[in-house]
Amino acid sequence: MNPERAAARAEILRREIERHNHAYYVLDAPTVPDAEYDRLFRELQALEAGHPGLRSADSPTQRVGGKPLPEFAPVRHAVPMLSIRTETDTEPSGARAFDARVRRELGLGEGDALVDYAVELKFDGLAINLRYENGVLVQAATRGDGETGEEVTQNIRTVRRIPLRLAGAVPPLLEVRGEVFMSRPDFERYNEKQRARGRATLVNPRNGAAGSIRQLDPAMAAERPLSFYAYGLGDTRGWNLPATHAGVLDALAAFGLPVCEHRAVVAGADGLIAFHARMREMRDALPFDIDGVVYKVNSLALQQRLGFVTREPRWAVAHKYPAEEALTTVEAIEVQVGRTGAITPVARLAPVFVGGVTVTNATLHNEAEARRKDVRIGDTVVVRRAGDVIPEVVAVVMERRPKKDLPGDEALHSAFALPKNCPVCGSAIERPEDEAIARCSGGLVCPAQRKQALLHFAGRRALDIEGLGDKLVEQLVDNAIIKTPADLYKLGLLKMITLERMAEKSAANILAAIEKSKATTLARFIFALGIRNVGEATAKDLARFFGSLDALMAADIDRLQQVPDVGPVVAASIVRFFAEPHNVEVIEQLRAAGVTWTEGEAVAAVSSPVAGKTFVLTGTLPTLTRDAARDMIEALGGKVAGSVSKKTDYVVAGAEAGSKLEKARDLEVAILDEAQFRELLAGGHKS
Q: What 3-state class would DSSP assign to 251?
A: helix
Residue 254 CB, nearest distance to ligand IVH (Å)?
Answer: 19
Q: Which residues have a Cβ under 8 Å from the Cβ of 524 and sit 6 or more positions away?
A: 461, 462, 463, 464, 539, 597
Residue 37 or 255: which CB sits closer to ligand IVH?
Answer: 255
Residue 123 or 187: which CB sits closer to ligand IVH?
Answer: 123
Residue 56 CB, nearest distance to ligand IVH (Å)?
Answer: 30
* Contact stretch for ligand IVH (CB under 6 A) within 78-86, 514-522, 552-560, 601-609: 78-86
Q: Considering the rule CB under 6 A, would residue 234 count as an interface residue with ligand IVH?
A: no
Q: Which residue of 54, 82, 249, 542 would you call a contact of ligand IVH, by CB under 6 A? A: 82
Residue 316 or 377: which CB sits closer to ligand IVH?
Answer: 316
Contacts (CB under 6 A) with ligand IVH, residues 127-156: 127
Q: What 3-state class would DSSP assign to 381?
A: strand
Residue 20 or 122: which CB sits closer to ligand IVH?
Answer: 122
* Contact stretch for ligand IVH (CB under 6 A) within 67-75, 121-129, 429-437, 453-461: 121-129
Strand partners, 325: 384
Residue 617 CB, nearest distance to ligand IVH (Å)?
Answer: 57
Mask for 174-193, x = binds ligand IVH (CB under 6 A) = -----x--------------
Residue 44 or 128: which CB sits closer to ligand IVH?
Answer: 128
* Contact stretch for ligand IVH (CB under 6 A) within 79-87, 517-525, 530-538, 665-673: 79-87
Q: Considering the rule CB under 6 A, would residue 313 count as an interface residue with ligand IVH?
A: yes
Q: Considering the rule CB under 6 A, would residue 207 count as an interface residue with ligand IVH?
A: no
Q: Which residue of 31, 56, 83, 207 would you call a contact of ligand IVH, by CB under 6 A? A: 83
Q: For the chain, first and last CA: distance in Å?
A: 68
Q: Which residue of 84, 428, 491, 632 would you call a contact of ligand IVH, by CB under 6 A? A: 84
Residue 155 CB, nearest distance to ligand IVH (Å)?
Answer: 16
User: Of all residues in this chain, which one has the CB nearest to ligand IVH in the complex?
Assistant: 127
β pairing state of 227-237 and 173-181: antiparallel
Phi, psi of 569 (to 5 degrees): -65, -50
As a whole number of angstroms, the distance between CA 57 and CA 148 comes to 24
As a whole number of angstroms, the distance between CA 666 and CA 644 comes to 10
Q: Which residues have a Cβ under 8 Å from the Cβ of 74 and sit 6 or more positions away?
A: 144, 148, 149, 150, 151
- Written as one letter, the residue type at 405 is D
The answer to whether 182 and 158 are in contact (CB under 8 A) is no
Residue 232 CB, nearest distance to ligand IVH (Å)?
Answer: 5
Q: Which residue of 123, 295, 457, 677 would you call a contact of ligand IVH, by CB under 6 A? A: 123
Q: How many residues lie near ligand IVH (CB under 6 A)?
A: 13
Residue 82 CB, nearest distance to ligand IVH (Å)?
Answer: 4
Residue 38 or 147: which CB sits closer to ligand IVH?
Answer: 147
Residue 306 CB, nearest distance to ligand IVH (Å)?
Answer: 11
Residue 294 CB, nearest distance to ligand IVH (Å)?
Answer: 4
Q: Considering the rule CB under 6 A, would residue 316 count as an interface residue with ligand IVH?
A: yes
Q: What 3-state class would DSSP assign to 463?
A: coil
Strand partners, 309: 312
Q: Which of 122, 296, 373, 660 does the annotation list as catalytic?
A: 122
Q: What DSSP state is assigned to residue 204?
A: S
Q: Considering the rule CB under 6 A, would residue 16 count as an interface residue with ligand IVH?
A: no
Residue 125 CB, nearest distance to ligand IVH (Å)?
Answer: 7
Q: Considering the rule CB under 6 A, would residue 323 count as an interface residue with ligand IVH?
A: no
Q: Which residues have a Cβ under 8 Å from the Cβ of 14 and sit 6 or more positions away?
A: 44, 58, 59, 60, 165
Q: Which residue of 98, 231, 527, 577 would you call a contact of ligand IVH, by CB under 6 A? A: 231
Residue 121 CB, nearest distance to ligand IVH (Å)?
Answer: 6
Residue 292 or 530: which CB sits closer to ligand IVH?
Answer: 292
Q: What DSSP state is assigned to residue 655?
A: B
Residue 187 or 295: which CB sits closer to ligand IVH?
Answer: 295
Residue 422 CB, nearest distance to ligand IVH (Å)?
Answer: 48
As a whole number of angstroms, the distance between CA 485 and CA 456 comes to 10
- Written as one letter, the residue type at 588 is E
As a whole number of angstroms, the distance between CA 524 and CA 529 comes to 9
Residue 483 annotated as catalytic: no
Mask for 242-281, x = binds ligand IVH (CB under 6 A) = ----------------------------------------
Q: Which residues have a Cβ under 8 Å from the Cβ of 335 and sit 6 or more positions away?
A: 343, 344, 345, 346, 418, 419, 423
Q: Which residue of 48, 87, 120, 487 would you call a contact of ligand IVH, by CB under 6 A? A: 120
Query: Quick one: how many helices (H) and strands (E) in the chain?
Result: 25, 26
Residue 139 or 191: which CB sits closer to ligand IVH?
Answer: 139
Q: Considering the rule CB under 6 A, would residue 560 count as an interface residue with ligand IVH?
A: no
Nearest to 661, CA basis, from 624, 613, 617: 617
As a whole number of angstroms, the distance between CA 401 and CA 18 comes to 48
As a whole number of angstroms, the distance between CA 368 and CA 436 comes to 7
Residue 292 or 638: which CB sits closer to ligand IVH?
Answer: 292
Q: Considering the rule CB under 6 A, would residue 232 count as an interface residue with ligand IVH?
A: yes
As a whole number of angstroms, the distance between CA 512 and CA 492 comes to 11
Nearest to 319, CA basis, from 65, 119, 496: 119
H/E segment holding residue 6: helix 3-21
Q: Considering the rule CB under 6 A, would residue 122 count as an interface residue with ligand IVH?
A: yes
β pairing state of 429-430 and 392-396: unpaired
Q: Which residues have a Cβ under 8 Å from the Cβ of 52 and sit 6 or more positions away?
A: none
As a whole number of angstroms, the distance between CA 300 and CA 243 comes to 6
* Contact stretch for ligand IVH (CB under 6 A) within 122-130, 236-244, 321-329, 605-613: 122-130
Residue 120 or 601: which CB sits closer to ligand IVH?
Answer: 120
Nearest to 123, CA basis, from 325, 288, 323: 288
Q: What is the DSSP string of 388-422?
A: TSPPEEEEE-GGGPPP--STTGGGTTSPP---SB-
Q: Considering the rule CB under 6 A, would residue 297 count as an interface residue with ligand IVH?
A: no
Q: Which residues have a Cβ under 8 Å from the Cβ of 485 and sit 6 or more positions away?
A: 444, 453, 454, 457, 458, 463, 528, 586, 590
Residue 173 CB, nearest distance to ligand IVH (Å)?
Answer: 19
Residue 294 or 445: which CB sits closer to ligand IVH?
Answer: 294
Strand partners, 396: 381
Q: Considering the rule CB under 6 A, would residue 218 count as an interface residue with ligand IVH?
A: no
The contact set with ligand IVH (CB under 6 A) reads 82-84, 120, 122-123, 127, 179, 231-232, 294, 313, 316
Residues tagged active-site: 122
